[in-house]
Amino acid sequence: MKSFNSFNILKTLKFQEKEYQYFSLPSLQHHTGFAVQKLPYCLKILLENVLRYEDGNINSYDTVKEFVSWLFEGKNLKGEIGFMPARVLMQDFTGVAAVVDLAAMRSAIKDLGYNPKVINPLIEVDLVVDHSIQVDHYGRPDAADKNFNLEMERNQERYELLRWAAKNFDNFRVVPPGNGICHQINIEYLSKIVKHKGGIIYPDTLVGTDSHTTMAGGIGVLGWGVGGIEAESAMLAQPLPMLIPEVIGVYLEGELPEVANATDLVLSLTQMLRKLNVVGKLVEFYGPGLSNLTVADRTTISNMSPEYGATCGYFPVDEATLEYLRLTNKSDAEVQLVKSYMQAQGMWHNPNDEAIYTQKVNFDLSTVTTSLAGPKRPQDRVKLSSVRSNFLENVTKDVQDKFPVKGGYSLSNGDVVIAAITSCTNTSNPYAMIGAGLIAKKIVEKGLTLKPWVKTSFAPGSKVVSEYLKHAGLNKYLDKIGFNLVGYGCTTCIGNSGPLLPEIEEVITANNLQVASVLSGNRNFEGRVHPLVKANYLTSPILVVAYALAGTMNCDIHKDVLGIDKNGREVYLKDIWPHKKEIQEHIKKSLLPEFFAKSYSKVLIGSDKWEAIKVNESKIYDWHSSTYINKPPYFDGISLEPKTFKEVKDAKILAVFGDSVTTDHISPAGNISKTSPAAKYLLENGVDYKDFNSYGARRGNHEVMMRGTFANIRIKNELCPGTEGGVTKSLDDSIKSIYEVAMEYQAKSTPLVIFAGKEYGTGSSRDWAAKGPALLGVRAIVAESFERIHRSNLVGMGILPLKFLNNKTRLDLKLSGKEVIDIQLHELKPFAKALCIIDNKTKIEVELQVFTDIEIEYLKSGSILHKVLLDQIKNKR
């Protein structure tokens, strides 16, 4: 799309005998007097995007002026913009569901008599297959090969769909399984920082179907997670509506102490920023402390933006960024072009400049201490010295009781049964990984062994990690103590931890043991890591190894004896802890650009099994009977006539939830319980329990996901006090699964409402957490507050997110589940006030959490999917 260029600021950048045009921010300042240099770096990128996509509609002359008003107060609650990212990043859990939707759109358009090729990505889309690997095998040299073979067997149908998409969609690439985690591949390979097309040069930006897309902010690429339905809209060149966001400036000073690393730092920042309530805001880091953080440290911090609640965590481009580009095998010309463009635009980090921020906070790196976070939330940081007392506060069982296991040992409450070096958060950080290798080396040299009940796994985010660990001679020590490679991908952090030994699961279940996991990931919500593990702690890879040696959370690991060495001496944590200097020396010797060149030379070419998958040549996907891929019902009966918005009337209450209900609670991605409605469906369709796979792997089948909605074993519905799991009151007042009750109401055409507390929808960018409730018949959710991504997903699926006002909460209503609910909207507009009427007598004022006019259009159309589909037809007529 050609920009209106109302401000006449299209300038020329000359670079190495080439010329690029760009929308010059300094020229905008010169022509208008608008103090562009005072904007945070991340807003400069958004402003450039608005100027480049100025269309006279959502991005107009007046839109640019809204940035001016932002500067006066550090916020603007009315300035709506349409953000058009340069590309979309997807992982296979959420990506498969998005591809299914696009395939269904093609079928729908064909049924309406139009060319199915109308539905085609118009911007770059990269899908990385990284979420399907599961830790079935571990602690053995061939574990990775065995797990990969199982992955290919289990996911054949899903991979057929992805191969079809790569063949039949333009601008759509698939990185085959076995290469790493999408976010690490993104920063090491896919991200360019600066892009150019058609002679125009501009900042690299993206949105992703995984909330940790924010990791790119660590290398100066602005991006964040969105729901799959928003990603589909962006793919089809629809601007993503948003208000000009508030920006929190975090001033960093000092340097990390000897015993602290980036994991400790990000857990501290997560705790601080979550308390500050940065939900829906951008966080930008600046100050002299930046020079003491490597780009790997920065990406660790940016990765966990969803955990501290921010839309993203952004680090401006500086010399350290350029060093990282050289390390990751970028050409000198690419590196210099980044610097030239960023300097020309005033986007190059200048330590002496200080932007205007909505709010500024200071953080001293020297105050960081060795930490973990848990046992249920990533923001619940615990100092290492307090971990034992933290666990005991949260455990309800006697930690002294021992229960014999068939293997000749005993289990107790608090024992660590999973120790996993996993996730994009830490495995992209060489300091963390070299540190893990060094503590393993010291354990081996002292003749120590890990506890036999601990399931150990090592799943790095890219093949580069294996290369530099091998070059440093440290991989053999990790192998020796049981941290063998289990595969390249997202495992334990997403719930793909795999089964425990049968004898261990038997003892845990029989005695209702409260056992623990330690993982170097970013998520530890209830029921996520493993359904039998109730206490989950996030920490650095170094401490993951240390706790695997200790074998329990019921110890003061910082001062208790961890074992007896081969010479009969007591060994403490300080005796095996790797020193900062030795870690840095290993990094300097072993982290080389050629490892990135080798790992990514054939990244788009898969294994023999991947390449052997048959690809259907048809432009229309061949829908067939499958429990993995199923044609969704969203477009059934669609017509070219626009829908009319219906108010919520005579609704019933499906559930009442408390605070911090996560997307894991709403739409779990882990194991499929044997007693769940989803299990019943699979068994009825001839799937054996051993072949259930996970909810995440079956996201392409709406029948499974509907039944998995609110099916988390730890969710608590206040309509059914004393219960745990996805149940609610039925029409006859008996307690049944939420799915069954929803279907009872659906048979009577009764709309449904959910009430909840604070932070409803905390967690990943899971479009199924909105799709599932929509398919169950939920029309509105009334809560005290919503997480950013989930709020927008609800709107995208036509569900009204409504916020309590006047300090009212669900508790004031004393709901029993028998009430009849009406929602009266006086006007369908952003932030409209509405009345929630209970039994035609009690009236509660609520506010519609719809922020932009485009989101209103989604509601009027029935969903974002319907609007996008009809817009594509309209544009191609």
Structural domain total, the chain: 4
pLDDT tens per residue across span 814-837: 999 999 999 999 899 999 999 999
Assigned domain for 674 exists = no
Residues 801, 764: one domain? yes
The pLDDT score that the predictor gives to residue 877 is: 57
Q: Residues 6 or more apart from 811 whose CB is under 8 A from it?
A: none
Q: Are residues 730 and 850 in the same domain?
A: yes
Instruction: Provide the token pair at 93.
Output: 């859990």
| HEC readout, 827-865 | CCCCCCEEEEEECCCEEEEEEECCCCHHHHHHHHHCCHH
Same domain for 208 and 198:
yes
Any domain includes 186: yes
**Domain check: are 153 and 28 in the same one?**
no
Rounded Cα–Cα distance for residues 405 and 348 (Å):
59
- CATH number, domain with residue 826: 3.20.19.10
- Predicted local confidence at residue 875, as pLDDT: 76
Per-residue confidence band for 873, with pLDDT thresholds at 50, 70 and 90: confident
Of 667, 698, 657, 706, the C-alpha closest to 789 is 667
- Nearest Cα residue to 711 out of 698, 697, 728, 699: 728
Residue 73, pLDDT > 90, answer no
In a domain, 247, yes or no: no
For residue 222, being part of any structural domain is answered with: yes
809 and 752 in a single domain? The answer is yes
Token pair belonging to 738: 């939420």
Tell me, yes or no, whether 452 and 436 share the same domain: yes
| Same structural domain, 74 and 127 | no
Helix (H), strand (E) at residue 231: helix 228-235
| Domain membership of residue 137 as a residue range | 85-239
State the pLDDT confidence band at 228, using cuts at 50, 70 and 90: confident
Q: What are phi and psi of 28, to 5 degrees?
A: -60, -40
Span 298-315, pLDDT tens digits: 999 999 999 999 999 999
**Is the residue at 682 inside a domain?**
no
608 domain residue, yes or no: no
Q: Is the domain of 551 the same as that of 422?
A: yes
Residue 728's contacts (CB-CB under 8 Å, 6 or more residues apart) are 654, 655, 717, 719, 720, 735, 736, 737, 738, 741, 817
Q: What confidence category does residue 45 fall into, taking pLDDT thresholds of 50, 70 and 90?
A: very high
Residues 458 and 574 in one domain: yes
Q: Is residue 246 part of a domain?
A: no
Q: Which of 222, 239, 256 is the last residue of a domain?
A: 239
pLDDT at 694 over 90: no
**What per-residue confidence (pLDDT) applies to 1?**
66
Q: Model-level pTM?
A: 0.92
pLDDT value at position 766?
Answer: 74
The string of pLDDT tens digits covering residues 767-820 is 899 999 999 999 999 999 999 889 999 999 999 999 999 999 999 999 999 999
Residue 377, both tokens: 């939330």
pLDDT value at 10 more than 90: yes
Q: What is the pLDDT of residue 702?
A: 95
Both tokens of 592, joined, read: 């080389």
Which pLDDT does position 205 carry in this prediction?
98
User: For the segment 450-471, what is each residue's pLDDT rounded down to a tens digit?
Assistant: 999 999 999 999 999 999 999 9
- Helix (H) / strand (E) containing 783: strand 778-783
- In terms of domains, do 99 and 228 share one? yes
Residue 122: exposed, middle, or buried by beta-carbon count in 10 A (0-12, 13-18, 19+)? middle
Are 46 and 149 part of one and the same domain?
no
Q: Of 201, 223, 239, which closes a domain?
A: 239
547/461 Cα distance (integer angstroms): 22
Q: Which helix (H) or strand (E) holds 466?
A: helix 463-471
Q: Which amino acid type is present at position 352?
A: N
Of the residues 239, 255, 290, which one is the last residue of a structural domain? 239
Average pLDDT (491-513) is 94
User: Which string of DSSP letters, residue by residue, matches 315-339?
Assistant: --B-HHHHHHHHHTT--HHHHHHHH
Per-residue DSSP letter, 662: B
User: Is it the case that residue 372 has pLDDT exceeding 90?
Assistant: yes
At residue 713, the pLDDT reads 86
Whether residues 229 and 103 fall in one domain:
yes
User: What letter would DSSP give residue 270?
Assistant: H
What number of H helices and E strands is found in the chain? 33, 34
Do the domain assignments include residue 636? no
Which CATH number belongs to the domain containing residue 448 in this structure? Answer: 3.30.499.10
Angle in degrees, 0-180, between the axes of helices 463-471 and 593-600, rounded to the nearest 10? 140
